[in-house]
Amino acid sequence: MSDDRKVNKNSKNEQLNMYRVDDKDKKMTTNQGLKVSEDAFSLKAGERGPTLMEDFHFREKMTHFDHERIPERVVHARGYAAHGEFELYESMKKYTKAKFLQEPGSKTPVFVRFSTVAGSRGSGELARDVRGFATKFYTEEGNYDLVGNNMPVFFIQDAIKFPDLVHAVKPEPHNEIPQAATAHDTFWDFVANNQESAHMIMWAMSDRAIPRSFRMMEGFGVHTFRFVNEEGQAYFVKFHWKPTLGAHSVVWDEAQKINGKNPDFHRADLYESIDNGDFPEYELGVQIIDEADEFKFDFDILDPTKIWPEEEVPVKIIGKMTLNRNVDNVFAETEQVAFHPGSVVPGIDFSNDPLLQGRLFSYTDTQLFRLGGPNFHELPINRPVCPFHNNQRDGYGRQTINKGQVSYHNNSLAANTPETAKEDEGGYVHYQEKMEGRKVRARSNSFKDHFSQAVMFWNSMSDVEKEHIKDAFSFELGMVQSKSIQQQIVDMFANVDLELAKTIAGNIGVTEPQSGGSSITKSSPALSQENMTKKPNTRKVAVLIGDGFEEKEVKSVLDVLKSGGVQPEIISEKLGRLEGTDGLQLEVDHTFLTGESVLFDAVYAVGGANINDKFCEDAQYFINEAFAHFKPIGASQSGDKWVKNIIDKPGVITSNNTKSFASTFVEAIASHRYWSRQVS
């Protein structure tokens, strides 16, 4: 290498070194060099008051975070959506003046986007993760966005920590590994050092983090909001979406295999269900607390790491949402839709939940960057169905062509139009909550209980669900490289349950804690998925069948399955048509290569007179895997031989041991899983 090239190379290295920063043993500052005295609390008007706009440190930190990715969302990048309508069952006039919640039977168009949180847009959909559940109501008073998740709590209590959480959960920056996974050091280091996350971690390690489909998971508004009625009376409210099919999950081994077999599993399920006319349905429920009762509970109702147990604050079902139309263009609709918890209508207002307060800033800031400017509301998917008028002009993506010379308020040239609307004309007026307190960076002492509801969640789980949580912790922490972090987490969750912590410690090879546990016996049966609605509707059944099947019985069984709402799909060696003993023909939907057991909810093994050894081998593997995942299995004709070793196990139904084979099999499918196989 010549001396000139050496000089140029060294100069380049020196330039690069100028941007390499080692933060070790340094004091935190703003980007302007101002030393930061507190980084865990946003600036509020009193310990339980709203976040203040003057909090320049929060705004700088959140603005930087919101602009860290282009062009996809930083979080919730992997999403899919559908159109539908919301129909009101019962008037909420007593509690809120929101017009779309007044007249029973009234219908409001909606657009719903489901998503995973941590992964990039190209990641698999069966990662262990929180799922986004965001709903845009196109009301006559403007758009109302209920931006929630499939879990009712969150990892942190204050929005100023949100960038830290996401930095920790994302792939580690030095090697960009792992994608869409929490099983790594930085995430669990965050958990160990931010123990307010304990309750959320219990949810994330549960089966809720690997739902069977978007159609079979609950949705929650997470935060405490307010209803405000015509008289100006306010109520605290939380929102729930309850799927009519119940909330159900896959098992972890199954989830990992689905990600390999079909990483689009959830979006395909949603698309195909709507395309087939099996429209997903969710009932909207609300929990309501009188303002006078704000402090009557053993938890702070504004704390986003806490639920309001349904046994203490019942969920009132007030309407149903039906998703009945797929998007026409994923980019124009699913990717360009812009949700914002600050998009409200008269009658719906905010609480001082410090996580919600920060989101009210963050979402607008994110959309400005991600969608190119301030006119993202003009994109067709974001436009309200009611007219909108104001003095905003210009900017990237402007589509409205405003007439006239005036673009400011308080004017005489245009008779002061558009003019503001009074409250009785539908003008939005913020609830006039009385505020007292000093400007502080602090958190109310009532937010400091991090473990009682984590214990309640654990107490509420069935034995099977508890085993799954133990396995999830053991897998996740087994992928962590730091023994110190592993030990910290084990010691942390000894506060939830000592035996849980000891089991995890034994599985990952760290010291078992000798003390811990909790005296709390409180539980909430509503938290266990084992207590959810179980139906056979839209469950997919793989029918393993070959040429020469005895068609009378097969046709009868398939008819009963279909009449029960079950969706049978034919699987054989090759695509094409199969022929029965009397000439009945069945079209093959999948081969053994394209139709794996993990993609189905149950198996019906039939076989046929003309099947070969390869068919038998593939069918046996298919059934064994389905059995290992606790799924219902039905067998008749030559299919009986593939279940001879499991014939007496729960959920294995054969035509030889029941006169009503088909109906019994449908009942088995409705049961979803047969967990007793774990111990049988």
Question: What is the C-alpha separation between 654 and 81, in angstroms, rounded?
Answer: 40
Q: Is 656 a catalytic residue?
A: no
Asked if 435 and 427 count as a contact pair (C-beta separation under 8 A), the reply is: no
Asked if 245 and 535 count as a contact pair (C-beta separation under 8 A), the reply is: yes
Question: What is the C-alpha separation between 324 and 277, in angstroms, rounded?
Answer: 8
Question: What is the C-alpha separation between 154 and 356, in angstroms, rounded?
Answer: 11
Alpha helices per DSSP H over 518-660: 551-563, 613-628
Q: Which of 661, 609, 616, 659 is nearest to 634 (CA)?
A: 661
Give residue 204's identity as a one-letter amino acid code. Answer: A
Q: Which of 589, 591, 593 is nearest to 572 (CA)?
A: 591
Question: What is the C-alpha separation between 373 and 357, in angstroms, rounded?
Answer: 23
Q: Which of 304, 346, 341, 343 is nearest to 431 (CA)?
A: 346
DSSP letters spanning 398-453: ------SS--SSS-STTTT-SPPPPGGGT------------EEE---GGG---SHH
Q: 57, 76, 266, 340: which is the annotated catalytic residue? A: 76
Question: What is the C-alpha separation between 663 and 669, in angstroms, rounded?
Answer: 10
Asked if 41 and 157 count as a contact pair (C-beta separation under 8 A), the reply is: no
φ, ψ for residue 58, nearest 5 deg: -60, -45
Question: What is the C-alpha separation between 564 and 541, in angstroms, rounded?
Answer: 12
Question: What is the C-alpha separation between 308 and 222, in angstroms, rounded?
Answer: 10
Residues ≥6 apart with Cβ < 8 Å to 119: 77, 78, 127, 129, 179, 180
Scan for tokens 């919301």, then name that residue: 86
Q: Which of 186, 193, 196 is nearest to 166 (CA)?
A: 186
* Token reading at 575: 């695509």
Q: Is 375 a catalytic residue?
A: no
Residues ≥6 apart with Cβ < 8 Å to 560: 662, 663, 665, 666
Residues ≥6 apart with Cβ < 8 Å to 429: 346, 423
Q: Which of 583, 541, 535, 585 is nearest to 562 (CA)?
A: 541
The answer, yes or no, to whether the previous bond of 178 is cis (omega within 30 of 0) is yes
Asked if 527 and 460 count as a contact pair (C-beta separation under 8 A), the reply is: yes
Q: 57, 83, 143, 149: which is the annotated catalytic residue? A: 149
Give residue 88's identity as a one-letter amino acid code. Answer: L
Please give the biggest Cα pair distance in the chain.
Answer: 91
Question: What is the C-alpha separation between 448 and 442, in angstroms, rounded?
Answer: 11
Task: Enumerate the β-bridge partners of residue 542.
Answer: 569, 603
Question: What is the C-alpha separation between 449 and 445, in angstroms, rounded?
Answer: 8
Asked if 148 and 220 count as a contact pair (C-beta separation under 8 A), the reply is: yes
Scan for tokens 């912790």, then name that residue: 473
Q: Which residues are catalytic?
A: 76, 149
